[in-house]
Amino acid sequence: MNKYTLLLFGLFLFCIQAFGQDSLLTINMAVQSAYDRNAELQQLYAQLKQKENARRMETGISAPEISYFKEGISSGPGDAFDEQRITISQEIDFPLTTAYRMKGLAEEVKAVELRIKARENEIKAAVKSKYVEVLYALRLQKSRQNQLKLSQELYNAVYTKFETGMGNGIDLANAELQLEQSKNDLDQTEWTLHQARYGLFFAMGLPVEEQKYSIQFSDTLAATDIEISQIMTLAVQENQPDYLSAEHELMATDFYIKEARSNILPDIRLNLYTQDYGSGYDYKGFEVGLRIPIWYPLDQRGKINTALARQEEIQWKQQEIRLDMKKQIEYAWHNYSVSRKIIERYNNTMQDKAAHLQSLTLRAYQLGEVDLLNLLNAQRTYLMSEESYLVALRDYYLQLIALEKYLDEDLVY
């Protein structure tokens, strides 16, 4: 083999390896894709920029005004006047009012940041759940392929006995129906898999042109087998981003109420000017003015009432968040606990015993020691235990993912 052939062969292997890497979609890649393409999350990022820039605009310092003033202009020839001056004017909100407004905006920025964190947790949980559904569909498809294999073995055994005159037509018809039903079940899993795949692609925001059949998925997932008490799980409710976001919104409304009430204090106006009495701008002056809010009860009462109503709204929102979190945590915890027991029971006892029972019953049927009904019951027990295990395994991962949102750590990866 010459060097040119070796080079081509190496390039061929590299291309195969690169294609395999590109077509493998891991759970972390799916989550990152959703972060980058989720419209609601990007809107929240845009809102965060708006809030951050609002702090630069709401400083309480208006744009300065430059004016030119001329007084005592003579109506006769020449350019006689008594006084002319150039003035720079600056209006400033009362400092306490500005301080409350800036603190309120700062709390709103923190609230949006926490809403982003909460939304990221929701996106991660949604994408991971869809990924688990895909893996469940793949495992179910393999299980149905095994079911078809067992049905084929059953049919072969019944047909052999029928051909030798030891069986009857009823058993053969029953075996044929069992075989056809297994084929139907296997075909149904194809739709289940496609439904799961496209559900994942949608959650990822994957463009249509990138949704290819060549995409492969990880065969297994790693999971943290957590031993956590129900009380400890519920204790972290008030540390959740959604709840903390509402807490900062509540603090923001409190500052806005103080801002509205502080408007009873006067705003400040400063004027600096240079004067010319006919011999040049040789004189300087300044002026300080206060804007007295004599109409305060009319124009500020509405602002105060609006802020108080907003505060009440957020308090009810917090209550809703707390109740919903408790429900979701309770549900996820109990379902996780039940699923883990089913998985452990299947792995420790049921899997081997069901497979052994099915194998022994098939052998006994071939020897004429049991009838077809016993064989069908043994197969049904084996298949039902496997399907229950797959459902429990799916629920186990789904509830771990649900708990991730509240524990703020990756339990499934």
Residues 335-360, mean pLDDT to the nearest whole number: 83
Query: In a 10 Å sphere around its CB, with 0-12 CB exposed, 13-18 middle and 19+ buried, how is residue 117 labelled?
Result: middle
pTM, two decimal places: 0.79
Lowest mean pLDDT among 106-110, 216-220, 386-390: 216-220
Pairing outcome for strands 65-71 and 83-92:
antiparallel
- List of domains in the chain: 24-59+93-263+300-407 (1.20.1600.10)
Residue type, 326: K
pLDDT at 10: 44
CA distances (Å), 236 to each of 77, 141, 231, 243, 336, in order? 86, 39, 9, 11, 18
Question: Largest Cα–Cα distance of the chain, in whole Å?
Answer: 139
| Residues 241 and 68 sit within 8 Å (Cβ to Cβ) | no
pLDDT at 379 over 50: yes
pLDDT at 49: 92
pLDDT at 16 over 60: no
| Mean per-residue pLDDT of the chain | 83
DSSP string over 327-350:
HHHHHHHHHHHHHHHHHHHIIIII
**Cβ neighbour number for residue 10 with a 10 Å cutoff:** 10
pLDDT at 119 over 90: yes
Q: List pLDDT tens digits, range 280-301.
A: 888 888 889 888 877 777 777 7
Closest CA to 358 of 386, 324, 381: 381
Number of helices (H) and strands (E) in the chain: give both, helices first: 11, 6
Residues 37-52, mean pLDDT to the nearest whole number: 92
pLDDT at 105 over 80: yes
| Residues 365 and 375 sit within 8 Å (Cβ to Cβ) | yes
pLDDT at 329: 81
In the 3-class helix/strand/coil scheme, how is 213-228 assigned residue by residue?
CCCEECCCCCECCCCC
pLDDT at 256 over 70: yes
Q: List pLDDT tens digits, range 165-205.
A: 777 888 888 889 989 999 999 999 999 999 999 999 999 99
| Residues 350 and 282 sit within 8 Å (Cβ to Cβ) | no
Lowest mean pLDDT among 5-19, 84-98, 134-148, 269-283: 5-19
**Cβ neighbour number for residue 393 with a 10 Å cutoff:** 21
pLDDT at 11: 36
Residues 395-408, mean pLDDT to the nearest whole number: 84
Give the separation between CA 159 and CA 149, rounded to whole angstroms.
Answer: 15
> Which residue's entry shows tokens 């083999």?
1
Query: In a 10 Å sphere around its CB, with 0-12 CB exposed, 13-18 middle and 19+ buried, how is residue 351 labelled?
Result: middle
Closest CA to 115 of 60, 66, 47, 205: 47
The pLDDT-based confidence of 363 (bands split at 50, 70, 90) is confident
pLDDT at 343 over 90: no
The torsion angles phi and psi of 207, rounded to 5 degrees, stand at -60, 150
